[in-house]
Amino acid sequence: MDIGLTGKNVVVTGAGRSIGQEIAIGFAEVGANVIGVDIIDLGETGEKVTAAGGAWSAHSADLEDPSSVEAACKNIMADNKSIDALVNNAALYGGLKMMPMDKIDLDVWDKVMNINVRGTYLVVRNLMPALIEAKGKIVNIASGSALRGSPGLMHYVASKGAVIGMTRSMATELGGHGVTVNAVAPGFVANEASQGLTDDMYDKYLEMTVMAQSIKEPTEPKDMVGTILYLTSPLANSVTGQVCPVDNGLCKT
């Protein structure tokens, strides 16, 4: 089925691994041209996107550094006739550890905010002219943890709450330009980053999460893809400012 993404230029941040990599492959499979952005090497994603039949280009950027974001976005706009969609997936998640709120290092708090909130904002701000020109679509990756108020990750949860607030505000500001802005809120996804977060409690945590879900299956990185393809396609032209949990029914909004 052609869902209207064939030949569209789509930017995916944090495309280097896991959820971002699956999103990039998903876009390739429906005929989009994928523009990957990450601070880590994008070689593996490039190979997988190309194998899936998608056109691919890679841009290195550190979302914590405003000048790095600006330079990458300038290059992306110079290299591409249009930017039809943007998925703000990059975030500081892998590498974080669960801990009580009074133990969070303030430097780590700032880093989480700078990457997850300001970095997301800066990518949108820098690509805005092209997204407005194309009447494009933006999907911000939030987190169900901000909807559920999950414990042990106060800085990360606060940053994803901010992503939800920005999504609604961006939808209002950009709606007049024909740009839609929505958020996808993954639940607890079974991947390396989640494993690192919970260390030796991972199996227990995953089991408890699955038990709390309506559908008793672990949520996998590739489970995000369908909803993101929908929200960036013409099928969702009238959908904006929404937060969509993708979590096997862990969270009901």
Ligand X SMILES: NC(=O)c1ccc[n+]([C@@H]2O[C@H](COP(=O)([O-])OP(=O)(O)OC[C@H]3O[C@@H](n4cnc5c(N)ncnc54)[C@H](O)[C@@H]3O)[C@@H](O)[C@H]2O)c1
CB-wise, 115 or 162, nearer to ligand X? 115
The contact mask relative to ligand X for 38-67 (x = CB under 6 A, - = no) is xxx--------------------xxxx---
CB-wise, 82 or 198, nearer to ligand X? 198
Size of the site for ligand X (CB under 6 A): 28
Restricted to residues 212-251, the positions that interact with ligand X (CB under 6 A) are none
Cα within 13 Å of Cα(245), Cβ side: 17
95: left (phi over 0), alpha (psi -120 to 50) or beta: left
CB-wise, 4 or 35, nearer to ligand X? 35
Task: Mark whether 156 is an active-site residue.
Answer: yes
Q: Where are the beta strands (DSSP E) in the chain?
A: 9-13, 33-38, 56-60, 85-88, 137-141, 180-186, 243-246
Q: How far apart are CA 165 and CA 183, in angstroms?
A: 10
For residue 166, what is the DSSP state? H
* Residue 124, φ and ψ in degrees, nearest 5: -65, -45
Q: How far apart are CA 138 and CA 89, in angstroms?
A: 11
Tell whether residue 20 is a contact of ligand X (CB under 6 A): yes
Q: Where are the beta strands (DSSP E) in 19-152?
A: 33-38, 56-60, 85-88, 137-141
Applying CB under 6 A, which of residues 9, 57, 143, 182 lies at the interface with ligand X?
143
Segment near ligand X (CB under 6 A); pick from 49-57, 188-196, 198-206, 225-233: 188-196
Tell whether residue 188 is a contact of ligand X (CB under 6 A): yes
The contact mask relative to ligand X for 64-83 (x = CB under 6 A, - = no) is x-------------------
Minimum distance, C-beta of residue 124 to ligand X, in the bound complex (Å): 14
Tell whether residue 141 is a contact of ligand X (CB under 6 A): yes
Q: How far apart are CA 171 and CA 177, in angstroms?
A: 10
Tell whether residue 16 is a contact of ligand X (CB under 6 A): yes
Q: How far apart are CA 141 and CA 166, in angstroms?
A: 11
Q: How far is CA 110 from CA 17, 65, 155, 252, in A?
A: 23, 13, 8, 30
The single residue of 156, 202, 205, 230 carrying the catalytic annotation is 156
Six-digit token string for 23: 């999103």
CB-wise, 30 or 251, nearer to ligand X? 251
Restricted to residues 90-109, the positions that interact with ligand X (CB under 6 A) are 90-94
What are the catalytic residues? 156
Positions in the binding site for ligand X (CB under 6 A):
14, 16-20, 38-40, 61-64, 89-94, 115, 141, 143, 186, 188-189, 191, 193-194
